[in-house]
Amino acid sequence: MRLTTRGRYAVTAMLDLALNNECGPISLADISQRQEISLSYLEQLFAKLRQNNLVSSVRGPGGGYCLARASDAISVAEIIDAVNESIDATSCSGKGNCHNGDICLTHHLWDDLSHQIHRFLSGISLDSLVHQQDVQVVMLRQSDQADANSGCAKV
């Protein structure tokens, strides 16, 4: 399976947004600081997330981004799909031309794995991640750091 930083960062940023949802619109600068993701990279990701109706933007002072839907209505797979990330375990990107232009012996195995991974990630909502104990521990640590920098970051 090939899941690049694009997909991981998009999920991380969306989880940050879900965790800080009660603070109102969240600036990309705040997410960038908390998650140590480049601001310019976040801008690219959020353009795609906005195009796919996963986030909405609020302009002006105090503006930023909010989830476009409830966190229990957004799956990890949707986020990864929105940033054009492929969850593909085949060596041919699912095209079936992996062995001299034809399907290789294990193509269907890896293709089935890709579909299983997508189904698995489709069953995980942002809300379910927000309520995981380990996520809460990390958020509390980040909240303490954000408090020192006067960010919201409340769980």
Task: Give residue for tokens 């409830």.
Answer: 70
> Nearest CA to 55 among 29, 34, 82, 37?
82
Determine the angle formed by the axes of helices 39-51 and 28-35, rounding to 10 degrees.
120
Q: Could you tell me the pTM of the whole model?
A: 0.84
Q: Which residue has the higher pLDDT, 28 or 93?
A: 28
Residue 143 has a pLDDT of 75
> Nearest CA to 11 among 129, 115, 94, 100?
129
Q: Would you list the domain boundaries of the chain?
A: 5-148
Residue 8 has a pLDDT of 93
Q: Let me know: does 80 contact 11? Beta carbons within 8 Å.
A: yes
What CATH code would you report for 5-148? 1.10.10.10
Could you give the percent of the chain with pLDDT greater than 90? 54
Residue 154 has a pLDDT of 44
What's the residue count for the chain?
Answer: 155
> In the 8-state DSSP scheme, what is residue 66?
E
Could you give the percent of the chain with pLDDT greater than 70? 92
Confidence band of 13 (pLDDT split at 50, 70, 90): very high
* Measured distance CA(93)–CA(43) in Å, rounded: 27
Average pLDDT (128-134) is 90
> Of 97-106, 119-128, 145-154, which one has max mean pLDDT?
119-128
* Measured distance CA(90)–CA(96) in Å, rounded: 9
**What average pLDDT is seen over the chain?**
87
Average pLDDT (58-87) is 91
pLDDT tens digits for range 76-122: 999 999 997 777 777 777 777 877 778 888 888 988 988 899 999 99
> In the 8-state DSSP scheme, what is residue 152?
-
